[in-house]
Amino acid sequence: MSLAQNYETYLVPIIMDHWAQKLVGLVRPGDRILDVGCGTGVVARRAAEIPGVSGTIIGLDISPDMLAVARTAFIAGRASIDWIEGDAADMPFEDGRFDVVLCQFSFMFMADKAAALREMRRVLAPGGTLGLRVFAPGPYDRALRETLSRHAEPNENDFAIWAWGYPEKLRSLLEPAGFDITRLEQESIPSCYGSVRQAVELMRDWSHTVAALEPPVFEQVCLEMESKMRVYSTGRGFECPEPVITVIARAG
């Protein structure tokens, strides 16, 4: 399967969907909604299921492959969704187009984060709401970095997923972009993988270091990760701690 298909098949049910269900609690009936860096569209899809939602819903992503899966995965319900290819740092929308902008777990990958936030502010109506989520460092990524360093030279880009999970780093960009932060908090909901091995295998899509490991080395990495993460393995699988920072802000 392609990266986008893997994302929808595995990461959406394991990680993304339960966070999406919480994030769309910001949406009110009639809101015009933008899902920035929408990936395969789970946030936009959850927003479309909310009773009374009848406004615009747009999913924007720079990846045509992600959008192709999003179009296939969405089954029309209470509201429709437009899927648009575009860069978060240069959005094809007029000023003040949206009431709510949601950005779940894509901010970390945006090349120009300051420009992307300025664009999110620009396309929000005055007083509109931004809901942004990033992963925060936790025991899994620390164990993975330590394990990989024993067998390879970890590429720092592999850990970009967790690099923005610090309140002051987020404030340093959000406030200059014109946002008034109303809530900034860390919370955690375990993500349940079938096993530690499955979690490491799925990292092949996101980690150049893991993807480049020779089979015997990959096996050793899995064994070491299983040992380090044993405390989080249960009868239901690997309940991976998933620290997340959520920012709710108003367009000032």
Domain membership flag for residue 148 = no
Domain membership flag for residue 198 = no
Cα–Cα distance measured from residue 214 to residue 161, given in angstroms and rounded to the nearest whole number: 23
Cα–Cα distance measured from residue 127 to residue 179, given in angstroms and rounded to the nearest whole number: 9
Residue 141's alpha-carbon distances to 63, 66, 207, 220, in angstroms, are 25, 25, 12, 17
For the cut 80, the answer to whether the pLDDT of residue 249 exceeds it is yes
Predicted pLDDT of residue 80 = 87
Predicted pLDDT of residue 41 = 97
Domain membership flag for residue 44 = yes
Residues 6+ apart with CB under 8 A from 1: 9
- pLDDT single digits (tens) 30-85: 899 999 999 999 999 999 988 878 778 999 999 999 999 999 988 766 678 999 99
Task: Kindly give the residue spans of alpha helices, DSSP state H, lying in 64-207.
Answer: 64-73, 113-123, 139-149, 167-174, 196-202
Question: Is residue 228 within 8 Å of 220, Cβ to Cβ?
Answer: no
Please give the residue range of the domain that contains residue 14.
3-137+160-190+241-251
Domain membership flag for residue 176 = yes
- The lowest-confidence range among 81-85, 206-210, 213-217 is 206-210
CATH of the domain at 116: 3.40.50.150
Average pLDDT rounded to a whole number, residues 192-204: 96
For the cut 90, the answer to whether the pLDDT of residue 191 exceeds it is yes
- The lowest-confidence range among 72-86, 90-104, 232-246 is 72-86
Total structural domains within the chain: 1
pTM recorded for the entire structure? 0.94
Query: What percent of the chain is predicted at pLDDT more than 70?
Result: 99
Q: For the chain, how long is the longest CA-to-CA vector?
A: 56
Average pLDDT rounded to a whole number, residues 6-27: 95
Predicted pLDDT of residue 79 = 75
Domain membership flag for residue 142 = no
DSSP state of 87: B
Give me the chain's average pLDDT, please.
Answer: 94
In 3D space, the residue among 64, 204, 67 whose CA is nearest the CA of residue 148 turns out to be 204
Cα–Cα distance measured from residue 245 to residue 103, given in angstroms and rounded to the nearest whole number: 12
Domain membership flag for residue 71 = yes
Cα–Cα distance measured from residue 126 to residue 251, given in angstroms and rounded to the nearest whole number: 6
Cα–Cα distance measured from residue 163 to residue 134, given in angstroms and rounded to the nearest whole number: 9
Average pLDDT rounded to a whole number, residues 137-161: 91
Domain membership flag for residue 130 = yes
Pairing of strands 98-104, 33-36: parallel
